[in-house]
Amino acid sequence: MSYKYCCLNPISGVGLEKLTADYERTEDFAAADVAFVRSAKMDEMSPGPGLLAVARAGAGVNNIPHASYAEKGVVVFNTPGANANGVKELVIAAMLLASRDIVGGVEWVKANAADPAVAKAAEKAKKAFAGTEIQGKSLGVIGLGAIGRKVANAALALGMDVYGYDPYLSVDAAWSLDRNVRHCRNVEDVYRACDFITIHVPALESTKGMINAEAISLMKNGVIVINAARDALVNEPDMIEALESGKVRRYVTDFPNAVTAGKKGCLVIPHLGASTAEAEDNCAVMAVKEIRDYVENGNITNSVNYPSCSLGPLRTAGRVAICHRNTANMIGTFTGILGKAGVNIDAIANKSRGDFAYSLIDTDNPIPAEVVAALEASDAVIRVRVVK
């Protein structure tokens, strides 16, 4: 069986070369079975009826209408952690750039490049760009996911005292976090304790604008705030006021906009967090792996609109994948239909996530077309796909 894939943005060839000859590239999104995307605004695009899945080569999916895609049975994947090291390094660079006016010093040299005595002049001018070291300072990391953990561990290695806050810290995340990170139970404790604060949480209704005037009022005078996660996490008009009053020393953001660009105290980076060759390669490889496992085996890993669900590699005579609503007795309905048709079930996996659920069923014999039609007849079923 062959599939058509579409790249809505440039995707690293290191990942795309892992697609087999069964995958044919198309420039027509409406004709694609699967799509790879980075920043393209997909809510402005119309998918074709054959679209099975979308893979975001990165973590954020604000540019993908994943809720409406769930209603169509289109599984949306992302690649959490694949760009974590690139973002971590940018955050470390942001702390150094904010604590010492390196950018201002470089610009001064450029402005005085024609002066034959620039070296002598620099000795007099450099005091205007002096700053402080980060060793011995305290860093608060809000969100200890793939990126936050790396930032916390790296900061410890640089001699900083690190405070971490994450109410949803998983066991796996805890194992990879240095034991010297001080775990805070309340985000307010991070605000009060730290010289630097960096945020690494998703943009949810509960987190949008979380760094606002009230939060800033709890922070140390002269705090440095870094945002390499999502622009919506910071109330930037409140941040500008805090910079003007001197409450905040510097605000470093990786999200340029008219509010912060060129404003005093703001270091605005042009969204470079994941813009490294290595991060782009890692994201592409991970995205292709997720797509292939879904298309070829029906397994879901790292979806943002459907639950993770797997029966491993396909080794049985038949496998059917069903996207459906999370309502009662769906498994009973599916097994009843298969049993009535004399199709013997080898294994079942069923997982739910909010309003949606996903079922994989392995069978000892191929699944007839009339059985597929019977499965599709349920009002709660969104999509039925015979994987084999």
Instruction: Judge if pTM exceeds 0.85.
Output: no
Same domain, 281 and 339: no
Name the band, by pLDDT with cuts 50, 70 and 90, for residue 203: confident
* Span 267-281, average pLDDT: 94
Same domain, 239 and 290: no
Q: Is the pLDDT of residue 195 over 90?
A: yes
> End of a domain among 220, 250, 268?
268
Number of domains in the chain: 3
Query: Which tokens sit at 362?
Result: 């392995």
Same domain, 33 and 48: yes
Cα–Cα distance, 330 to 316 (Å, whole number): 22
Same domain, 158 and 282: no
> End of a domain among 245, 268, 291?
268
Same domain, 107 and 251: yes
* Span 262-266, average pLDDT: 95
Pairing of strands 345-353, 356-363: antiparallel
Query: Which tokens sit at 20?
Result: 């087999």
Same domain, 105 and 46: no
Cα–Cα distance, 158 to 169 (Å, whole number): 23
- Among 218, 261, 265, CA closest to 241: 265
Q: What is the signed CA dihedral for 306, 309, 313, 319, rounded to 10 degrees?
A: -80
* Window from 62-66, 167-171, 351-355, 374-378 with minimum mean pLDDT: 167-171
- Interhelix angle 146-157/84-99, nearest 10 degrees: 50
Same domain, 116 and 192: yes
Cβ neighbour number for residue 242 with a 10 Å cutoff: 24
DSSP 300: B
Same domain, 106 and 222: yes
> What is the domain extent for residue 175?
86-268
Same domain, 96 and 219: yes
pLDDT score, position 284: 97
Chain-wide mean pLDDT for the chain?
Answer: 96
pLDDT score, position 60: 83
Please state, for a pLDDT cut of 70, what percent of the chain lies above it.
100
- CATH code assigned at 364: 3.30.70.260
Query: 60 to each of 66, 138, 152, 201, 260, how far by Cα in Å?
Result: 11, 28, 21, 11, 21
* Span 76-102, average pLDDT: 96
Same domain, 230 and 165: yes
Same domain, 242 and 314: no
- CATH code assigned at 50: 3.40.50.720
Model pLDDT for residues 18-51, shown as the tens digit of each residue: 999 999 999 999 999 999 999 999 998 999 999 9
* Window from 124-133, 163-172, 179-188 with minimum mean pLDDT: 163-172
Q: Is the pLDDT of residue 245 over 90?
A: yes
Q: Is the pLDDT of residue 349 over 80?
A: yes
- How many degrees, rounded to 5, is the angle at CA 253 between CA 252 and CA 258? 115
Model pLDDT for residues 156-175, shown as the tens digit of each residue: 999 999 999 998 887 777 78
Pairing of strands 53-56, 318-325: unpaired
Same domain, 238 and 353: no
